[in-house]
Amino acid sequence: MVSYDPVALEVARNRMSAIADEMGVVLRRTAYSPNIKERADCSAAVFMPNGEMLAQAEHIPVHLGSMPASVAAVLDFVGGVIEPGVQYAVNDPYAGGTHLNDLTLVRGAFVDGRLAAFVANRAHHADVGGEAPGSMPAHATTLDQEGHIVSPQVAVRDGQWDASFLEPFLEATRTPDERLGDLSAQLGANEAGALRIKEAIGRELDTHLSTSAKLLDYGERRMAAAISSLPDGVYEFTDYMEWGERDIAISVAVSIDGGHLHADFTGSAPQVEANFNAVEAVTRSCLYYAVRVAADPTIPANGGSYRPITLRVPEASIVNASAPAAVAAGNVETSQRIADVVLGALAQAAPEMVPAASQGTMNNVLVGNDRFAYYETIAGGQGGRPGKAGQSGIQTGMTNTKNTPIESLESHYPFRVLRYGLRTGSGGAGEFPGGDGIEREIEFLEAATVSLMGERRRIAPWGLHGGEPGAVGEDWLIRLDGSREQLPGKSTFDVVRGDRLLVLTPGGGGWGRRA
**Tens-place pLDDT, residues 256-282:** 999 999 999 999 999 999 999 999 999
pTM of the model: 0.97
3-state secondary structure 449-482: EEEEECCCCCCCCCCECCCCCCCCCEEEEECCCC
pLDDT tens track for 176-190: 999 999 999 999 999
Predicted confidence (pLDDT) at residue 2 exceeds the cutoff of 70: no
Q: How large is the average pLDDT for residues 285-292?
A: 98
The more confidently predicted of residues 5 and 457 is 457
- The reply to whether omega before 506 is within 30° of 0 (cis) is no
Predicted confidence (pLDDT) at residue 427 exceeds the cutoff of 60: yes
Q: Which pLDDT band, with edges at 50, 70 and 90, does 9 fall under?
A: confident
In whole angstroms, give the CA distance from residue 142 to residue 277: 10
Task: Please give the angle made by the CA atoms of 350, 354 and 357, to the nearest 5 degrees.
Answer: 140
Q: How large is the average pLDDT for residues 406-417?
A: 97
In whole angstroms, give the CA distance from residue 338 to residue 316: 16
User: What is the amino acid identity at position 426?
Assistant: S
Torsion (CA) 276, 282, 285, 290 in degrees, nearest 10: 20
In whole angstroms, give the CA distance from residue 137 to residue 273: 13
Neighbours of 321 (CB within 10 A): 28
At residue 1, the pLDDT reads: 41
Smallest CA-to-CA distance from 196 within 117, 123, 88 is with 117
Q: Beta 309-312 vs 260-264: how paired, if at all?
A: parallel
Q: Which pLDDT band, with edges at 50, 70 and 90, does 3 fall under?
A: low
The answer to whether the beta carbons of residues 70 and 106 sit under 8 Å apart is: yes
DSSP label at residue 510? P
State how far Cα 202 lies from the chain centre.
Answer: 34
Predicted confidence (pLDDT) at residue 4 exceeds the cutoff of 70: no
In whole angstroms, give the CA distance from residue 304 to residue 149: 31
State how far Cα 84 lies from the chain centre.
Answer: 29
Radius of gyration of the chain, Cα coordinates, nearest whole angstrom: 22
pLDDT tens track for 100-141: 999 999 999 999 999 999 999 999 999 999 999 999 999 999
The answer to whether the beta carbons of residues 157 and 85 sit under 8 Å apart is: yes
Neighbours of 9 (CB within 10 A): 18
* The length of the chain, given as a count of residues: 515
In whole angstroms, give the CA distance from residue 57 to residue 22: 9
The distance in angstroms from the start CA to the end CA of the chain is 51
Q: How large is the average pLDDT for residues 293-314?
A: 96
Q: How large is the average pLDDT for residues 342-361?
A: 97
At residue 197, the pLDDT reads: 97
Q: Beta 490-495 vs 484-486: how paired, if at all?
A: unpaired
> CB-based contacts of 70: which residues, under 8 Å, 6+ apart?
90, 96, 97, 104, 106, 120, 122
The answer to whether the beta carbons of residues 263 and 18 sit under 8 Å apart is: no
**Annotated domain spans of the chain:** 6-217, 355-515
In whole angstroms, give the CA distance from residue 69 to residue 62: 12
The answer to whether the beta carbons of residues 389 and 399 sit under 8 Å apart is: no
Smallest CA-to-CA distance from 152 within 137, 164, 140 is with 164
If DSSP codes are grouped into helix, strand and coil, which group holds residue 491?
A: strand
3-state secondary structure 333-384: HHHHHHHHHHHHHHHHHCCCCCCCCCCCCCCEEEEECCCCEEEEECCECCCC
Mean pLDDT of all residues in the chain? 97
At residue 156, the pLDDT reads: 98
If DSSP codes are grouped into helix, strand and coil, which group holds residue 160?
A: strand
In whole angstroms, give the CA distance from residue 61 to residue 397: 8
Q: Beta 448-453 vs 490-495: how paired, if at all?
A: antiparallel
Task: Please give the angle made by the CA atoms of 336, 339 and 343, to the nearest 5 degrees.
Answer: 135
